[in-house]
């Protein structure tokens, strides 16, 4: 009780500073309402901490408060970033940034505020004329020779959220030491009057169509088999942007690649931050894909694809053995894309041994098996595309990037962009569908073929949501418990290896030997590997109030007739894992 009283006292003190003249009337009114309310829950949730950069930058619920997305938290982040850019690039005659945004409520408003603050600090700003896919912002930073960029987006989160992704000069999201230095600069802003809100219009240049054209031309160069597209140009492709930015470029990219039969879901072509036809605009959720699947059944589509609101993630639906439309998971998307790229490049004689692919540590190990079978080096990295981009940066000029992905429905086929890209991924997926048809296979048969050649795997992710301050404390405790009392067996198989990325220790459970893992920094991730090849990864989300469990089981698939049985066996094993983990 005493701790609660102290917290309320501290929160009240912080909230009262938001009643000063530096804050607009609407904000002051909202804060006063929270202060005057008998129930202090909203006040505590809004002010108990500052929003911090996670794996995806700044992200939170929109509203008044230090723990909310609003013009002042966005303003402080931008002022801090501007201050740091002026330190880091002090030798340049002009510092340049790109600012973009998605379709969410307040996104354009926040983007214009960001542009104004940068310009008020003497920084040249390229501001997109309207919403654009996140990967295009990454591309534009590189194309325009900028030092940084900001995209206002909360990706696939529910409509109450918005976010702020900060990028560096290579077009990748910011990592250490820059992220820490930016936060230090933000923390030095003690007063809202330290934020330069009054923009300099002469420093702001609007960009749009020309950048779209350059981006789409670059993406077209990724096509590996234009002839197969010509033979199957009328492939029936259902595409939905789920009310997001993908509608701006993805249908046009498919047309430029040569596809002529792109079927829309008209209700979801409407761009809206309210995402009116879905509970959550996340293409990994079957409910978000329901309208696209209904359209596919209506027209007999060969392929169903989707992008999330900022068009960096891809969703994909294929027909199963019974002809029913089924969502494939993010691991399978990465497997299909990488397998195709490696296979076609080998067939075309384009591999010279210097190529590599990248996956995140929580993504399926089957990708390593595929890469090994093609004799291609695979690198593991932390969750978040900023880490895939970091590998690309480290290997630039010495090895050739073929592609990289993560289980959370993200893929990057190119290095001229440094964030996951559904524009290129969807264009490639359509080409793969055409190629499979040319080989006399459907998509499902092609996926089964990958499993037969590389070993069968089945992956399931479970997110345990814990909202607010109390929830954050529960997540911390859960990680402590797994570390202090790790499971001895999972799914009936003994745990043989434990990897703890918080101290980079890899423990051989049988011998007790501990070795150090080679990663650029530590991370709050635990992994358990069992004798039968199962892998369980546990990590708190860096951008959402949840703890994530990634479960992966392995088996053997001799031929396509055993696919259904392999699925059933794997699902039973996953349920056993869940039970052992208590989720």
Can you tell me the distance from the alpha carbon of 100 to that of 248, in angstroms, rounded to the nearest whole number? 14
- b/e map 280-289, b = 16+ CB within 10 Å: ebbbbbeebb
Q: How far apart are CA 179 and CA 165, in angstroms?
A: 11
Is the separation of the CB atoms in 378 and 358 below 8 Å? yes
Sort strands 124-128 and 204-207 into parallel, antiparallel or unpaired: parallel
Q: Of these residues, 119, 148, 155, 422, which one is catalytic?
A: 155
CA 198 vs CA 23, 69, 74, 115, 201: distances in Å: 14, 20, 14, 10, 9
What single string gives the DSSP state of each residue in 230-276? HHTTT--EEEE-TTSGGGGTHHHHHHHHT---EEE-HHHHS--TT-T
Residue 111 main-chain phi, psi, to 5 deg: -65, -40
Tell me how far apart the alpha carbons of residues 101 and 70 are, in angstroms, rounded to a whole number.
15
Q: Is 155 designated active site?
A: yes
- The residues, ordered by sequence, that sit 6+ positions from 15 with a Cβ below 8 Å of its Cβ are 31, 34, 35, 43, 46, 47, 65
Q: Which of 178, 7, 23, 213 is nearest to 85 (CA)?
A: 178
HSE-CB at 142 with a 13 A cutoff on CA atoms is 18
**Backbone φ and ψ of 409, nearest 5°:** 70, 30
**In angstroms, rounded to a whole number, what is the distance separating the alpha carbons of residues 348 and 342?**
10
Catalytically annotated residues: 155
């Amino acid at each position: 009780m005493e701790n609660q009283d102290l917290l309320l006292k501290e929160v009240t003190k912080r909230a009262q500073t938001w009643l000063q003249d530096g804050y607009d009337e609407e904000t002051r009114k909202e804060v006063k309402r929270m202060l005057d309310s008998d129930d202090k829950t909203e006040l505590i949730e809004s002010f108990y901490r500052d929003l911090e950069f996670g794996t995806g930058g700044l992200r939170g619920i929109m509203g008044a408060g230090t723990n909310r997305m609003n013009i002042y938290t966005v303003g402080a982040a931008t002022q801090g970033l501007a201050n740091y850019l002026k330190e880091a690039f002090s030798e340049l005659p002009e510092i340049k940034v790109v600012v973009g945004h998605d379709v969410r409520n307040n996104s354009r408003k926040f983007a214009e505020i960001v542009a104004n603050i940068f310009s008020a600090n003497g920084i040249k700003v390229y501001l997109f004329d309207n919403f654009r896919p996140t990967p295009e912002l990454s591309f534009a930073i590189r194309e325009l020779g900028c030092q940084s960029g900001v995209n206002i987006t909360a990706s696939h989160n529910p409509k109450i959220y918005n976010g702020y992704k900060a990028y560096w000069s290579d077009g990748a999201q910011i990592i250490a030491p820059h992220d820490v230095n930016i936060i230090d600069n933000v923390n030095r802003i003690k007063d809202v009057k330290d934020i330069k809100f009054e923009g300099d219009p002469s420093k702001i240049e609007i960009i749009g169509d020309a950048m779209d054209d350059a981006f789409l031309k670059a993406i077209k160069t990724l096509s590996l088999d234009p002839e197969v597209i010509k033979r199957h140009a009328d492939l029936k492709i259902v595409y939905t942007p789920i009310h997001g930015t993908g509608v701006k470029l993805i249908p046009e990219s498919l047309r430029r690649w040569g596809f002529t039969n792109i079927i829309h879901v008209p209700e979801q072509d409407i761009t809206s931050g309210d995402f009116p036809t879905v509970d959550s605009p996340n293409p990994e959720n079957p409910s978000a894909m329901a309208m696209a699947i209904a359209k596919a059944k209506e027209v007999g589509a060969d392929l169903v694809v989707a992008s999330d609101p900022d068009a960096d993630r891809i969703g994909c639906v294929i027909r199963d053995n019974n002809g029913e439309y089924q969502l494939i998971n993010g691991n399978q998307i990465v497997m299909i894309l990488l397998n195709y790229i490696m296979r076609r490049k080998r067939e075309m004689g384009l591999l010279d041994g210097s190529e590599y692919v990248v996956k995140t540590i929580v993504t399926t190990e089957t990708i390593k098996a595929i890469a090994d079978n093609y004799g291609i080096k695979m690198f593991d990295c932390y969750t978040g595309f900023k880490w895939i981009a970091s590998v690309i940066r480290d290997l630039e000029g010495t090895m050739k990037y073929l592609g990289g992905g993560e289980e959370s429905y993200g893929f990057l086929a190119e290095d001229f962009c440094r964030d996951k890209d559904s524009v290129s991924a969807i264009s490639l997926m359509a080409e793969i569908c055409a190629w499979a048809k040319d080989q006399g296979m459907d998509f499902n048969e092609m996926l089964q073929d990958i499993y037969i050649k590389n070993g069968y795997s089945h992956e399931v992710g479970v997110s345990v949501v814990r909202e607010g301050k109390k929830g954050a404390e529960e997540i911390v405790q859960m990680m402590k418990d797994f570390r202090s009392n790790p499971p001895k067996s999972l799914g009936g198989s003994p745990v043989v290896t434990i990897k703890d990325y918080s101290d980079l220790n890899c423990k051989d459970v049988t011998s007790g030997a501990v070795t150090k893992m080679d990663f650029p920094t530590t991370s709050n991730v635990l992994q358990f590997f069992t004798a039968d090849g199962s892998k369980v990864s546990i990590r708190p989300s860096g951008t959402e109030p949840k703890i994530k469990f990634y479960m992966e089981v392995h088996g053997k698939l001799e031929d396509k007739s055993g696919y259904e049985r392999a699925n059933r066996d794997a699902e039973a094993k996953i349920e056993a894992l869940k039970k052992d983990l208590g989720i």
